[in-house]
Amino acid sequence: MKKTIFIFIYFISVSTFSQVEKIEPPFWWIGMNNTELQLMVYGENIADYDVSISNDIRIINTQKTENPNYQFVTINTESIIPGIVSISFSKKGKVIQTVSYEFKERRKYSALRKGFDSSDVIYLIMPDRFANGNPDNDSTDNTVENANRNDKNGRHGGDIQGIINHLDYISKLGATAIWSTPLLEDNEPKYSYHTYAQSDLYKIDPRFGTNKDYQNLATKMHKRDMKLIMDYVTNHWGSKHWMIQDLPSKDWIHYWENGKKGFQRSNYRMTTQFDGNASKVDSEGCMNGWFDTTMPDMNQSNPLVLNYITQNAIWWIEYADLDGLRVDTYSYNDKETIAKWTKAIMDEYPDFNIVGEIWMHDQAQISYWQKDSKIGAIDNYNSYLPSVMDFTLHDEIPLMFNETSSWDRGMIRAYNNFANDFLYANINNILVFAENHDTNRINQIYSDIKDYKLVMTLIATVRGIPQIYYGSEIGMQGNKSQGDGDIRRDFPGGWQGDMNNAFTKKGRTENQNEYFNFTKKLLNWRKENKSIHFGKTMQFVPENNVYVYFRYNEGEKVMVVINNNPKPQELNLNRFTEIIKDAKFGKEIISDKIINLKSILKLESKSSMIIELNN
């Protein structure tokens, strides 16, 4: 075995001989809902040793694998008090090494933490490309790939401190939550800024900062009433993960005997997860195939794997005081075991939220994966996943604003998408977005700010949780066909020496300020509007490419008008009497104009209006 030296503050050796190299989780908390804790102990031939723990802590069982360098020790934490206990490793009655292990006091009300919801607006950040707050960690001695800002597919040096430095910017914009793409260590020699091929699940990548920096980010966000969402990867690890380099057992990953080094690429056919007519070979090809050559597919059907990633996710929620998880490639996991993973987390934190990436193109197929889905119930399946992503709306947005009106084109695409809302178990708890770090930039598709305003009006006012992508609020573009690096450009002003600092009003161009000012006004208005957060929807079939819908509750009504016609239009408001009723006036929130609801509404070409009705 190739040995690596790890430093742990809690290790106290009783001899000069050190057998234990790692214990994970590195520490734990008392008072958790699940009182069983499984410790993964790693060290050369550690399976040869007997384990005992001080303070009369009961060891429920120990489990060994085919690799003698691992031992999994399950203990009962029910009667443990905060403090340090001793774990001893002995052979033939002789103690070889004793290490200390800490149990911490939980934060007060930690179990009742409130996750993100439809009152939030999520700001998605690719941290390597957002801002470089600490140039000293751009390259480090213990990671392979160095920073090279000239390489659009390489590391550029953005980090956690860069996010912290610009929290006021994000907050003033009107976003209330941040989803950062993964920050855990990714030690692949190339493309490591992407960070979805992780090499250590308990360590922030040193080029992003430290675990304490991540903890500090959450603290500073909470002081601003903002929420932090961690991008969590259950489906695969990186090829350089230290456990992949020395597997506990062959079935820790999905190893393909006929593949090179166990590799076989996924067929990506997620429909096989619920297709009653699917062949076994195709189902396994999706669930067990590798996402990419550098991303071994994890076998969650192995109880040790499932428990490891469950405890790891809970550890980060507790340690960093998180407000939510976004789970990458959720529907590629074994569906039964990922449901157990999700349920275990939600049992620990009943008011938490987890959104899964279900990149499918049919509402019934997406809704299958949401908790308590009527569609899933047909298959006797419940994922326990609170939130899913509205990829069907995402699919339509790049088309609808480019099209003239017809039976199935233009704004009818939006209408038809929302007509299928009945398929979802919880329509408010779905993520709505026009773009993310894997797609074309919306401002690349629509280069005219008029179209951007139409897109943002829709995203910010429909049911669900809006997510926006960093930089779009200043008009940033990016072409997916030019490679992922192009849709993940550096935010101007995030690096010392940048000619354009778009984080400040003075540093932005006139065009950037127009984008920013519209977005800021829209999102800050949304913060206070309960009918948008949790209200009902009434929509009207678009006419002349003009789409009208209302968001309302008992005390509020908001009328949204999107004129996608390249010509001005006149809207007869009598058509909407059933919802407008006796309201005579309304306030348009972008222009601050008072609108007479008893007359013809005149609409400029390619424009939107958001009108608060005055009852």
Q: Which residue numbers are catalytic?
A: 328, 357
* Torsion, CA 234, CA 238, CA 241, CA 243, rounded to 10: 60
- Rounded to whole angstroms, the Cα distance separating 470 from 491 reads 8
Q: The tokens of 376 are what?
A: 């899933």
Question: Minimal CA–CA distance to 353: which of 436, 461, 469, 229?
Answer: 229
DSSP states of 349-386: -TT--EEE----S-HHHHHTTSTT-HHHHHTT------
- Rounded to whole angstroms, the Cα distance separating 296 from 199 reads 11
Question: Minimal CA–CA distance to 588: which of 542, 522, 513?
Answer: 522
- Rounded to whole angstroms, the Cα distance separating 582 from 576 reads 11
- Rounded to whole angstroms, the Cα distance separating 220 from 100 reads 31
- Rounded to whole angstroms, the Cα distance separating 542 from 558 reads 17
Do residues 389 and 431 lie in contact, with contact meaning Cβ atoms separated by under 8 Å? yes
DSSP states of 198-214: -SEEEEE-TTT--HHHH
Q: The tokens of 379 are what?
A: 């298959």
Question: Minimal CA–CA distance to 593: which of 609, 577, 569, 579?
Answer: 609
Q: The tokens of 286 are what?
A: 């999706």
Burial (CB < 10 A; 0-12, 13-18, 19+), residue 364, is middle
Residue listed under structure tokens 């957002």: 130
Q: Name the maximum alpha-carbon separation found in the chain.
A: 92
Which helix (H) or strand (E) covers residue 94, if one does? strand 94-104
Q: What is the DSSP letter of 190?
A: S
DSSP three-state, residue 73: strand
Q: The tokens of 205 are what?
A: 């990548």
CB atoms within 10 A of CB 382: 17
- Rounded to whole angstroms, the Cα distance separating 538 from 552 reads 8
- Rounded to whole angstroms, the Cα distance separating 511 from 312 reads 44
Which residues 6+ apart lie within 8 Å of 495 measured at CB? 131, 132, 149, 156, 157
For residue 2, how far is the Cα from the chain centroid?
34
DSSP three-state, residue 546: strand
Measured in residues, the chain has a length of 615
